[in-house]
Amino acid sequence: MYAKEHVHSKVGLEKVGLKPTDIKQLTMHWNLTPAELYEHIIRNGEGVLTNKGAIRILTGQYTGRSPKDKFFVEQAPSKDEIWWGSVNQPISAEVFDHLHKKVLDHLSHQDDLYIIDAWGGTDPKYRLPVRVVSEVAYHALFAWNMFVRATEEELAEHDPEMTILAAPSLIAKPDEDGTRTGTFIIANLEKKIILIGGTMYSGEVKKGIFSILNYLLPHQGVMPMHCSANIGPKGDTAVFFGLSGTGKTTLSADSSRILIGDDEHGWSDDGIFNFEGGCYAKTIHLSPEGEPEIYATTQMFGTILENVPLKDDRSPDFDDARYTENTRASYPISYIP
């Protein structure tokens, strides 16, 4: 059933195998607002409110991505267009189908499912309609922040070309399920589904869609880039390349220039465009003096603070790495002036 009359697509979850008869006992929450998602996050025990209105989440065992547990289904026609190796690891269609059924069964037995429909990409010519379905409200808020929001008119007609099914509390059994560990991230380009299990870390959601755009867009003459970018008052664009944690977000958050994006972009014949609607900044040792624009976002309602320790007054302690050095803030790009 539906929680309330939020706009949701005519294209339901049947597209990925969740039939109405299988999920009639649970409540589907479509495209909730950040305020509503806050209520669910706190009610579900997924996070706590900080002193200035951000929400703090602890992701548990995994405080970063699990690249060794990420796979692509090896099947035609995509198998001949993928550079297989330690980054793009192959897995069989049989393993995917088995885990797909397992994820569907797991999700169908939850009390609540959270669904966000959005776009991957800001350029209408190249954007990808995406859907995130998760058992946790935190993933929905992350998707709200990080992907490009659809209008109400677009939501009503939204037909996702890639759906993420996230079941963080489902732990795989390698001997039975064909995985490496209890964690799995498996993309099926033909069925247009990404399965995520055994990890709460939301970076898998973000990078899952980036991987799909990496595959699709070169066929359309667009070069995907792992970079940040901004533009100056004279229309001059600067692009900052680098691996995670090397300073792309910091360099691009320049008050004298307009931010295009902090991590994932496409370069087409028309120029550079952001894949995302938000930023995912590292916050270890963040200070108002060193990075004032980014620091200001951590004091705003709607921002997610991942694995950031809190002081007694619920203010974030960005110098404390007790959970991980990879502390993060997820926030809408509009939070950067």
Residue 32, in any domain of the structure: yes
Specify whether 39 is located in the same domain as 148: yes
Residue 260, in any domain of the structure: yes
From 66, 183, 211, 249, the catalytic residue? 249
To the nearest 10°, report the CA torsion of 208, 214, 216, 219. 180
pLDDT at 7: 85
Specify whether 212 is located in the same domain as 305: no
pLDDT at 330: 98
Residue 247, in any domain of the structure: yes
The residue segments making up the domain with residue 307 are 223-335
In total, how many domains does the chain have? 2
Active site residue 106: no
Q: Of 171, 204, 220, which marks where a domain is finished?
A: 220
**pTM above threshold 0.85:** yes
From 65, 102, 127, 265, the catalytic residue? 65
Residue 170, in any domain of the structure: yes
From 191, 248, 265, 282, the catalytic residue? 248
Nearest to 209 by CA among 160, 270, 168: 160
Residue 52, in any domain of the structure: no
pLDDT at 92: 98
Active site residue 328: yes
Active site residue 244: yes
pLDDT along the chain (337 residues), means of 10: 68 91 83 98 99 98 97 97 96 98 96 97 98 98 98 96 99 98 99 98 98 97 97 95 88 92 96 97 96 97 99 98 98 94
Active site residue 207: yes
Nearest to 164 by CA among 5, 15, 9, 333: 15
The domain that contains 190 carries what CATH number?
A: 3.40.449.10
Specify whether 213 is located in the same domain as 288: no
Active site residue 191: no
Specify whether 95 is located in the same domain as 233: no
Active site residue 226: yes
Supply 74's token pair: 């090896």
CA geometry: angle at 265 spanning 122 and 35, to 5°? 50
From 6, 15, 98, 226, the catalytic residue? 226
pLDDT at 1: 44
Specify whether 252 is located in the same domain as 132: no
Active site residue 257: no
Residue 56, in any domain of the structure: no
Specify whether 83 is located in the same domain as 168: yes
pLDDT at 5: 56
